Amino acid sequence: MHDNDFSLFQLSLQQRAASVEMLLSELLSDRPQSGEITRPPRLLAAMRHGVLNGGKRLRPFLVMESAALFGADNSAALRVAAALECIHSYSLVHDDLPAMDNDDLRRGQPTVHRKFDEAAAILAGDSLLTYAFELVASEATEISAQARLSLITELARSAGIGGMTGGQTLDLEAEKVKPDEQGIIRLQAMKTGALIRFACEAGAIIGNADQRERECLAEYGSAIGLAFQLADDLLDVTSDAGNMGKATGKDVAAGKATLVSIHGIEWTKRQLSGLVEQAQLLLEPFGEKAGLLKEAARFIAERKN
């Protein structure tokens, strides 16, 4: 492990996070925008609480770094990154609801329905989801009309019934009937994998990459998406609530089947190493420019929270 590279990656992740946070804070201001009648303060506050929460902003980082591989305009990539973070955040706001995972804490802060109420959390999630599509469709970006439409199509597919919300449904069902190994893999590819894969593919779309390059980035996204979930399952059994900023040991307590519960901790660590290697190999054609994305794969697999 090269400590210098790792620090460079973390610095870059923080910089990207700060820029996406700043843009989101500006966009979610109390000034109504063209075509809007007014922005009700309580709904806006609930949206802001849901999205401006000091998250790692890993998905925005992946969009921006992937786009940079192809020399894409930075502010265009930033806007798509912000939209993706709105989608990711909405999914957490709804996932935390009493009818879903019933969580009181998210990154050490009260969840939206605990700080406001359930209705506000439902509507804030809906509003963030809706706003994400407005952001990508908007004229304000340097992205061609055709590329914006591709981004919207892929984003909706990754987030909808055949992707994230489908995966959340399978996840809830898995608490009642334990899925087999293939079932777990499919569930995770949908619930968390699809959006991470989209993040990487989005960079290629923004950068007008050719089909081969776009598939390469999507494959890289699939590999690190799977690594992300394996690391998450591993942390659920090895970490404590202080590190995670949310409840841990929940999977075990709920008797939930994960690849860790089937194959054990050592197998999972070997899998993670393999996925990092695979992800990094996929980036070889891009040479040194892909250095931070290679580090991202390692960070995802080895993260402690």
Task: Using CB under 8 A, list all residues that contact its own copies.
Answer: 32-40, 42-44, 47, 90, 94, 97, 99-100, 117-120, 122-123, 125-127, 129-131, 133-134, 137-139, 145-146, 148-149, 152-154, 156-163, 165-166, 168-170, 172-173, 186, 189-190, 194
Q: How many CB atoms lie within 10 A of CB 293?
A: 25
Let me know if 196 is exposed, middle or buried by CB neighbors in 10 A (0-12, 13-18, 19+): buried
Q: What is the CA radius of gyration of the chain?
A: 19
Q: Which candidate, 38, 49, 84, 35, places its Cα nearest to that of 205? A: 84
Least distance (Å) between residue 178 CB and its own copies: 16
SS3 157: helix
Least distance (Å) between residue 218 CB and its own copies: 10
DSSP string, 118-141: HHHHHHHHHHHHHHHHHHHH-TTS
**Element housing 250 (H / E):** helix 250-253
Q: How many CB atoms lie within 10 A of CB 146?
A: 10
Which is nearer to its own copies, 22 or 100 (by Cβ)?
100
**Residues 6 or more apart whose Cβ sits within 8 Å of residue 233:** 251, 258, 259, 260, 261, 268
Least distance (Å) between residue 289 CB and its own copies: 27
Which is nearer to its own copies, 30 or 284 (by Cβ)?
30
Which is nearer to its own copies, 63 or 190 (by Cβ)?
190
Least distance (Å) between residue 302 CB and its own copies: 27
SS3 224: helix
Which is nearer to its own copies, 84 or 276 (by Cβ)?
84
Which is nearer to its own copies, 93 or 290 (by Cβ)?
93
Which is nearer to its own copies, 136 or 276 (by Cβ)?
136
Least distance (Å) between residue 79 CB and its own copies: 13
Which is nearer to its own copies, 152 or 247 (by Cβ)?
152
Least distance (Å) between residue 119 CB and its own copies: 5
Least distance (Å) between residue 71 CB and its own copies: 23
DSSP string, 175-201: TTS---HHHHHHHHIIIIIHHHHHHHH
Distance, CA of 167 to CA of 152 (rounded, Å): 19
